[in-house]
A and B are shown apart, each in its own frame.
Chain A
Amino acid sequence: MSLCTPAEHSFSRRQILGAMGSGAACGLMHPAIANEIAKNNKQVLFVWLDGGMSQFESWDPKPNTRFGGPFRTIPTALPGVHFCELMPRMAKLADKLSIVRNMHTQDNSHSAGVPRILRGDPANRGVTYPYFGSAVSKLLGPGESGLPPYVWIKPGSGGFKPENAGFLGPKHGAIAFGDGKPPENFSRPETISDEQDELRNELRRRFSDRFAKGRKPTANEAQSYVYDMARKLMSRADLFDTTKLPERDLDRYGRTELGQHMLVARNMLEAGVRFVQVTSYGWDTHGDHFNGSASLIPKFDMAFASILEDLEERGMLDNTLVIAMSEFGRTPRINGHHGRDHYPEAWSMVMAGTGLVPGAVIGATDAEGIYVDAPQGHDIGSVFHTWYHALGINSMKEEFYNADQPLPMAHHEMEPIREVLA
């Protein structure tokens, strides 16, 4: 059950400006507003399919058309709505989803497209906008769990990613757990006692304080913040341990990299982490796309459907915003390597959970999936507004502050997708 409605968190620009003191720090809204927003216990699960999942082989199939590909479609829990046959479990959960089928974004390259999407592609104001995770970290804070507010579970290496935070400052970067594992040397050696540990920390604090003198506070704050978060995490090694979970869970999520990482994400959300991103790499299927999809998408289907089911079963879907998307979709045209290339012009993404209308299907593409139904479709700026509103943050009125510079939270010429907001 949602503890508060978006309307309860609505503040006007005038209110915010009036409340701002001249010493407003980087990225801060007025503390009263920030505190109010932080009271809500919203969480976010952000599933990122890096490289570009095909809308044809997932949410928006076009069977038996020129570009439709080899797969059949299956009916979903929403009458008249079909998914690709590669997603049988998500098809049964379609009535929990809000499906946007007319995404139309601006960049067809990975290198520029990924940060543009993840930062919401706002108008250029000479600053680097935060990733959505960093923004949520800033706006909602760590909550009562005290755990890091922005966690990223990903294949490969981990570490702290301050660059995600943009003008909000490095403190709001992501803490990445490579391969879903805790950092190396995570646990305190048994040979060090509590007393010794406290002495070591006191020494560290003194060094940090000395280092901070005469320097800008943000870097040092971030370092201390991350250290404190790491110490908090050290008491929660259980979050990374999926070996003790029931066999049934391992089977349901799939004994795959993504299944494993989604289980860690479930642990993190259950523990109260504010924003959990799960990334799966390897979706850039320029070659042998259909066999690639036949392998990748059912594994996503298992893992994503399982965590949705579990969040709902635990009553967490009422407070958790769930998102699954890529930086773009894939071309209708099938290339000579039997692949699909990058296609930002008409693609799909899905959301579920707090603040959203379940079972909404927004927009459409034409019969062959080449064009969206309206010239502009929905750009990522519009989606960012939607996410903020779903979390109870009125991004049309509230603003970020970069020093004294007010900045819109998302693209100032765009609006949330009203049809999808509860």
Chain B
Amino acid sequence: MSEEVVAFEPKPIGTITPECALTTVRYSPCGRVLAGTGFDQAIHRWDLAKMENPGDEKMFAVPGLEKVNGHNGFVSGLEFHPKREIAFSADSWGQLKAWPYLAEKPEPIWALPEAHDGWLRDLAIGDDGDWIATCGRDGICRIFSTIDGGLLAKFGGHDGEDVFAIAVHPSGKWAVSGDLRGRILQWEVKTGKIVREFDGADFHTLHRLQDLAGLRKLYFSPDGNTLIAGGSLPTGGANFRGRAHVRMFDFESGKVAQDVVIGDEAKDVFAHDVALHPEGCLVACTTGQSGSGNLILHRPGEEEPIFKSNKGTINCHGLALSPDAKQVAVSATNRGSNANGRRLDKEGNYPHNHSPIFLFELV
């Protein structure tokens, strides 16, 4: 990270309103496509090159591209190839597939319906784009060729525990994966040999019968000097209780550089997605109880965030920095997303939730 950290003031550009709930959002490397992964077994795309009236809340518009279908359950992850116009998406039934993200009607380049046995939770692409690392509920991490989906390597160091998050070091030499019990392991991509373990045990606790898995995201700073673990330090089960938390490790020493308790103490439970701005500012979004959720910008080393907004950004599950780092996209949840019983809408239909995507310019 650079030592001089710029303070940003996110300025609203506009809101995109997909019809379904999303698990995450990502920008394509060219910056033209914004994509979100849905509960509806589809990937939703928007053509940012055709954005109209940025900054005008009422007139703002971004045309949608055709949905990418063919997934099952939840679409759980999305990554873009750094050089080629290919995206990789994963779902909760274990499928991994590659598809041309600029195509009008994308057909899979390759697809692995059973890349994992069950929920494929996260994926991260190697630095040169030749391979992609995945992890899942089957307790295994895998390395696949991005060319043809061929299996290159497997890592079973988590002893069968559900692996929630994976990140690849910018050098491409190491991967780091974190599991249900908060074990964050660094391993060599070529050999699968465990190098060391980072301190993440407090991302897990057992409450009565329930293992509470707090880890949600692993992320490397672009220079590879900082490893960020985002999630929750759980305190109670059933209706998951905990404290939204980001832990920053100095990658060279492996020691904790800073623990950041994030968001509103009474409400925010998870730091669900994190990124690091090239200027050194931590960007995170949070989820929690009804009405909670924040977009947060935090300067490392400081106690208080430099920006925190709950205006519209309720229960945010995904965030992405644009390739030029001048924009951030946050997928949130509509208001009134929860209710006991069968409350019908004005038309007498049972409602479903959706994820408005808020676009901000980082000024």
Contact = CB atoms under 8 A, between A and B. Distances in A.
Interface of A: 51, 63-64, 66-72, 85, 108-109, 155, 256-258, 280-288, 291-292, 294-296, 299-300, 331-339, 341-346, 368, 370
Contacts of B289: 287, 337
B73 A336 contact: no
A282 B210 contact: yes
Nearest to B94: A72
B209 interface: yes
A107 B8 CA distance: 49
B209 A295 contact: yes
B118 A336 contact: no
Given A288-B240, A336-B337, A337-B240, 14 more contacts: A64-B72, A70-B76, A72-B93, A257-B208, A282-B207, A285-B238, A285-B240, A294-B137, A334-B21, A336-B333, A337-B269, A339-B240, A341-B340, A368-B350
Nearest to B288: A337
A291 B21 contact: no
A375 B26 CA distance: 44
Contacts of B340: 108-109, 331, 341-343
25 contacts: A63-B73, A64-B73, A66-B40, A69-B74, A70-B74, A71-B92, A109-B340, A282-B209, A284-B239, A285-B240, A286-B238, A288-B270, A295-B180, A295-B211, A296-B209, A300-B209, A333-B337, A333-B338, A334-B21, A336-B338, A337-B239, A339-B239, A339-B240, A344-B341, A345-B342
B293 interface: yes
A258 B209 contact: yes
Interface string B320-339: 00000000000011100111
B40 A343 contact: no
Contacts of A294: 119, 137, 162
Nearest to B239: A286
B271 to A, nearest CB: 13
Given A71-B92, A336-B315, A66 B118 contact: no
A329 B339 CA distance: 13
The 9 nearest A-B residue pairs measured at CB: A336-B333, A336-B315, A70-B92, A335-B338, A288-B240, A342-B340, A336-B337, A286-B239, A108-B341
B190 interface: no
Contacts of B290: 335-337
Contacts of A72: 72-73, 93, 118
A343 B293 CA distance: 25
A300 to B, nearest CB: 8
A292 B353 CA distance: 20
B145 interface: no
A10 B334 CA distance: 56
A155 B208 contact: yes
Contacts of B63: none
B213 interface: yes
Interface residues on B, range: 35 or more
A296 B74 CA distance: 20
Contacts of A370: 342, 350
Interface string B108-128: 000000000011000000000
B73 A287 contact: no
B39 A334 contact: yes
Nearest to A110: B340
A360 B210 CA distance: 31
Contact of A66 (B119, B162, B352): B352
A343 B343 CA distance: 10
Contacts of A291: 213, 240
Contacts of B352: 66-67, 333
Contacts of A346: 342
A85 B118 contact: yes
A309 to B, nearest CB: 20
Contacts of A281: 208-209, 238
B288 A280 contact: no
B342 A343 contact: yes
A258 B73 CA distance: 29
Nearest to A284: B238
B341 A286 contact: no
B210 A336 contact: no
A243 B340 CA distance: 42
Interface in B119-157: 119, 137
Contacts of A342: 340-341
A333 B351 contact: yes
Nearest to B334: A336
Contacts of A109: 340
B237 interface: yes
B237 A282 contact: yes
A292 B240 contact: yes
Q: From B20, B240, B339, name the one whose CB has the most chain A CB atoms within 10 angstroms.
A: B240
Contacts of A69: 73-74
Given A336-B338, A337-B287, A343-B342, A296 B353 contact: no
A287 B342 contact: no
A73 to B, nearest CB: 10
A336 B119 contact: no
A90 B246 CA distance: 39
B218 interface: no
Interface in B144-188: 162, 180
Interface string B263-277: 000000110000000
